[in-house]
Amino acid sequence: MRKIRLPIALVLQVFLYGTSPSLAQSMAPIPHVAVQGADLYRFRVGAVNVIALSDGTVPQDLYALLTNTTQAKTDALLEVSFLRNPIEASINVFLIALPDRLVLVDTGSGELFGPGNGGKLLSSLAAAGYRPEQITDILITHVHTDHSGGLVEGQRIVFANATVRVGKPDVDFFLNPANSAESGYDRKYFDEAIKTLKPYVDAGKVAAFSSSTEVVPGISSSSKGNIVDFQSASAPRLKGRLLLRRSSRRWR
């Protein structure tokens, strides 16, 4: 059985522009000293408003996750930071205002981790003053539980007016369950992708890419073999740069 390596970082490098007046009501200017909340963090990159939104947390058993170590060593390192196993890992989403667009980077885990684990994106979005139908674009860094799970609620598409932009290698791989047996990759990821991503495919709301292209104004993608990166293209109205890193995958 052939194993899959997941070694490469997916880079999302966004050159950001000033907020368009057409978004004035939905994306009011945020001062550099902004009111924050437990479930959101507002900041600016140049003239652009960005909000980090919490999707909640999920427990991680480091004894099972970490290799080439011992439980005693793990406990000692955790104790330095006043932590103990299992730890709570944060799941975060970013909302970026580009001219005439509101762009989400990932959607959190939705219902896929079960009650009490993640699934708080919509409440965090509401706390920030936004509704799901205002989102115009969703960039899925990769199709995994905690990145694409929030696309649906039950059988319902959550972001009815958004175009989901995701690498074609992920679409082709995860929407074909036969790839599970062939690759040795856990079948649950394929079932989850069919539940969360396929409704958008069926509705004509997925824009998959596999080569260098501008996915939305100011954000471009590039393909290097079987690795997909997001990167920027410079522009005369450049006012800031935001670099987000997420995991990518190598199928070979």
pLDDT at 24 over 80: no
Is 93:130 a contact under the CB 8 Å cutoff?
A: no
| Spatial separation of the C-alpha atoms in residues 103 and 194, rounded to whole Å | 23
pLDDT at 224: 56
The answer to the question of residue 136 being in a domain is yes
Helices and strands counted in the chain (H then E): 8, 14
pLDDT at 226: 42
* Most confident residue range from 13-22, 95-104, 126-135, 220-229: 126-135
* Residue predicted with more confidence, 180 or 2: 180
Share of the chain above pLDDT 90, in %: 54
The answer to the question of residue 126 being in a domain is yes
The answer to the question of residue 2 being in a domain is no
Please give the tally of structural domains in the chain: 1
pLDDT at 69 over 50: yes
- Model confidence at 238, pLDDT cuts 50, 70, 90, reads very low
Two structure tokens written together for 37: 């909340």
Domain that holds residue 122: 9-60+91-247
The answer to the question of residue 53 being in a domain is yes
CATH number at residue 202: 3.60.15.10
The answer to the question of residue 38 being in a domain is yes
Mean residue pLDDT of the chain comes to 79
pTM over 0.75: yes
The answer to the question of residue 209 being in a domain is yes
188: how many CB neighbours lie within 10 A of its CB? Answer: 11
